[in-house]
Amino acid sequence: MKEIKIGLIGTGFMGKAHAIAFNAAPSVFELPAKPVCELLADVNLSMAKSRASAWGFSRATDDWRALVADSDVDVVDICSPNFLHKEMALAAIAAGKHVYAEKPLALSAADADEMVAAAERAGVKTLVGFNYIRNSATQLAREIVLSGEIGELIHFRGRHNEDYLLDPQKPNDWHTLRATAGAGALGDVGSHILNMAEFLTGQRITSVCGQLQTVIPMRPKADGSGMAQVENDDQAQAMLRFSDGLIGNIETSRVAAGRKMGLAYTLTGTKGAIVFDQERMSELQLYRHEGPNGRRGFTTLLTGPEHPDYAAFSPAPGHGLGYNDQKIIEVRDLIEGIVNDRPLYPDFREAARVNYLIDAIEKSDQAGQWVTV
């Protein structure tokens, strides 16, 4: 069987999730090629070696540029902090590699544009890891919307709230500094719900009206030498206008007490509605405005083999997908897209949309008025 050799940069949380997915994907799906864990890079060589051994990578390096240049690497998989995405991706593209990168694509729309242009010139495949759109329930939501089953969409409400920075004693790290993170909550978790807003509705967001707030303005420096300023938003919200008349809003936060994986959306149409919460990632609430009044209500659909990509994990409904399963689906898409030379979603061009939206929301916040995207 054909092989696709992976060079993975980063051994953190996301690097591990990718590694699990590469290892598991071939037994879950019938893939047209086998992803092979070829080379793993981390600035810390001993970490790179130990993770390479554990995760089934043949080789390890502390030099990501060597990885990018390695002739045995087909895909460069970027799981480093946000501010490194651009440099690494441009290098990988320059080396003719396909690029699989974590979200958000870039720190700004301008950077994103540069990355899109490079990738398209080079003709390499790109994929950005907005993994939550792979969840079977969310794919189902999109399917229901696009089929017209709930009529014409009239309202979208989305949020991605977590509380990982609620503790004011958590030190400033790359997440809270403009140069390393770009936007704050909006860029980190907010990017998921912005991408999902367009994914779910099949429409473009055409204008936004946003509001950002830094709730905890100073945090301890990471080195313990006093306090430093938080340079980006802890929470943000925006109202949205979409291309086909739909309106909506989004919220995002990294200080939303109680929310652990608070990605949630409500899609309201002229004939029904969908409600979803990622904290219950294997169920979708579906309302259809039909049948006798006394029998109308939201139906809890547990994902099952009739729903997108579920059957590969289990033939029985209600058995539940987990976080890493979303990455396994993403890897399936990556491999199929490369082997069959098919478009990937979201590629750099599509992922750049999220950067456009973030920039527009920030601009709108400063202007105090609506901004066209």
Residues of span 178-197 touching its own copies by CB under 8 A? none
Smallest distance from the beta carbon of 109 to its own copies, in angstroms? 22
Instruction: State how far the Cα of 362 lies from the Cα of 66, in Å rounded to an integer.
Output: 37
Pairing label, strands 205-213, 235-242 = antiparallel
Instruction: State how far the Cα of 115 lies from the Cα of 141, in Å rounded to an integer.
Output: 30
Stretch of 24-32, 70-78, 197-205, 353-361 lying at the interface with its own copies (CB under 8 A): 24-32
146-185 residues in contact with its own copies (CB under 8 A) are: 150-151, 154-155, 157, 162-164, 166
Residue closer to its own copies (CB basis): 216 or 228:
216
104-143 residues in contact with its own copies (CB under 8 A) are: 140
List Cα–Cα distances, 19 to 38, 39, 126, in angstroms: 11, 11, 18
Partners of 250 in beta bridges: 158, 238
Residue closer to its own copies (CB basis): 221 or 271:
271
Interface with its own copies, residue 10, by CB under 8 A: no
Interface with its own copies, residue 19, by CB under 8 A: yes
Interface with its own copies, residue 249, by CB under 8 A: yes
- Which one among 289, 342, 343, 366 touches its own copies, defined by CB under 8 A? 289
Smallest distance from the beta carbon of 120 to its own copies, in angstroms? 33
Instruction: State how far the Cα of 72 lies from the Cα of 74, in Å rounded to an integer.
Output: 6
Interface with its own copies, residue 294, by CB under 8 A: yes
Residue closer to its own copies (CB basis): 123 or 368:
368
Residue closer to its own copies (CB basis): 6 or 91:
6
The answer to whether 145 touches 135, Cβ cutoff 8 Å, is no
Smallest distance from the beta carbon of 125 to its own copies, in angstroms? 23
Stretch of 38-46, 95-103, 173-181, 251-259 lying at the interface with its own copies (CB under 8 A): 251-259
Map residue 59 onto helix, strand or coil: strand
Instruction: State how far the Cα of 99 lies from the Cα of 91, in Å rounded to an integer.
Output: 10
The answer to whether 373 touches 198, Cβ cutoff 8 Å, is no
The 3-state secondary structure of 217-271 reads CEEECCCCCCEEECCCCCEEEEEEEECCCCEEEEEEECCCCCCCCEEEEEEEECC
193-232 residues in contact with its own copies (CB under 8 A) are: 209, 211, 213, 215
Interface with its own copies, residue 316, by CB under 8 A: yes
259-288 residues in contact with its own copies (CB under 8 A) are: 259-262, 268-273, 275, 278-283, 286-287
